[in-house]
Amino acid sequence: MIKLGVNSVLFKEYDFAQAARSIAACGYDGVEISAIQGMCEHLDLSRWSEQKDELQAIMQENGLKFLSMEVASLDEARLRLAFEAAAAIGIPVVNIGPGGKSGVEEDLAASIANLTHLSEIAESYGVTLCVKAHVGNAIYNTPTTLAAMEQISSSSFGIDMDPSHIHRSGENAEEALPAVINRVKHIHIRDCKGREQGPGPIELQACGRGDIDLYGYCEAMVQGSYDGPVVLEVIGAQPAHTLDQVTAVAAESYGYLNACLKKLGAR
């Protein structure tokens, strides 16, 4: 069964206990904990060992599982801390972006070389490192994703296939997914209007509100026998949003995704 979760960055204005309560109330199975420095550090990697018991207790109280962690940094020292924390806390996947600039061959080669190295480190901790195609970065579409897949052989490396970035790179995500599905180990998901660079206000990132064929995307997931986590990742700009606003986005997205996946026999 595909598990549904929420990246806790959606609740960046609130503590992790409140985020978990709201996520559980919406019906989700689990959480991707945010360790994004400068944006949302529900997991503070500099003191993860102090947080471990509290975080695990919060998850148990709310009947949730840790599905992943988002670090979004390519700093090796920080990622070593992330892998250590993930292994100890019980977080199977660590998500990052590729870095570099789109269309620059040297940046793509450097990104792939760095991801190869970081995947080997992740493997030594028994966790999986996932990267997603990201608008503006060296890996940003299906061809560049395939290049990384071809060159990185570690079993601890996976693709985090985010349809919103693929959509904004000019492709149809539901058509792109089958080409990479055999290495997809995590899915970030949200909707968006148009193909502009930014994902838009949080309300239009709710699944079913935008222009991406997310039902078709879910269908491609199921047809490709994907059984990993599907995690809502919604990042809002300032000003801060109320707890009701962010919970509404999470709840609406759960209803949409759960209905799609139930119809497809995946929940």
pLDDT band of residue 194 (cuts 50, 70, 90) is confident
pLDDT of residue 200: 80
Question: Is the separation of the CB atoms in 133 and 115 below 8 Å?
Answer: no
Angle between helices 173-180 and 214-223 (to 10 degrees): 20
Mean pLDDT in the chain?
96
| % of residues, the chain, pLDDT over 70 | 99
pLDDT band of residue 173 (cuts 50, 70, 90) is very high
pLDDT of residue 237: 66
Pull the structure tokens for residue 265: 């026999």
Nearest Cα neighbor of 12 from 30, 38, 51 is 38
CA angle, 219 as apex, 217 and 223 as ends, to 5°?
120
Average pLDDT value for residue range 204-218: 96
pLDDT tens-digit readout, 116-142: 999 999 999 999 999 999 999 999 999
What are the backbone angles phi and psi of residue 20, rounded to the nearest 5°?
-65, -40
pLDDT tens-digit readout, 1-42: 899 999 999 999 999 999 999 999 999 999 999 999 999 999
> What does the chain come to in residues?
267
Question: Is the separation of the CB atoms in 10 and 50 below 8 Å?
Answer: no
pLDDT tens-digit readout, 45-104: 999 999 999 999 999 999 999 999 999 999 999 999 999 999 999 999 999 999 999 999
CATH value at residue 236: 3.20.20.150
pLDDT of residue 240: 84
pLDDT of residue 199: 74
C-alpha span between 162 and 158 (Å, rounded): 13
C-alpha span between 183 and 200 (Å, rounded): 29
Q: What is the DSSP letter of 221?
A: H
Beta strands 128-131 and 157-160 are: parallel
Residue-range definition of the domain harbouring residue 149: 3-264
Lowest mean pLDDT segment, chosen from 176-185, 197-206, 255-264: 197-206
C-alpha span between 67 and 80 (Å, rounded): 19
pLDDT of residue 198: 74
Question: Is the separation of the CB atoms in 214 and 263 below 8 Å?
Answer: no
The number of folded domains in the chain is 1
Torsion of CA 209, 184, 137, 123, to 10 degrees: 140
C-alpha span between 259 and 257 (Å, rounded): 5
Question: Is the separation of the CB atoms in 34 and 8 below 8 Å?
Answer: yes
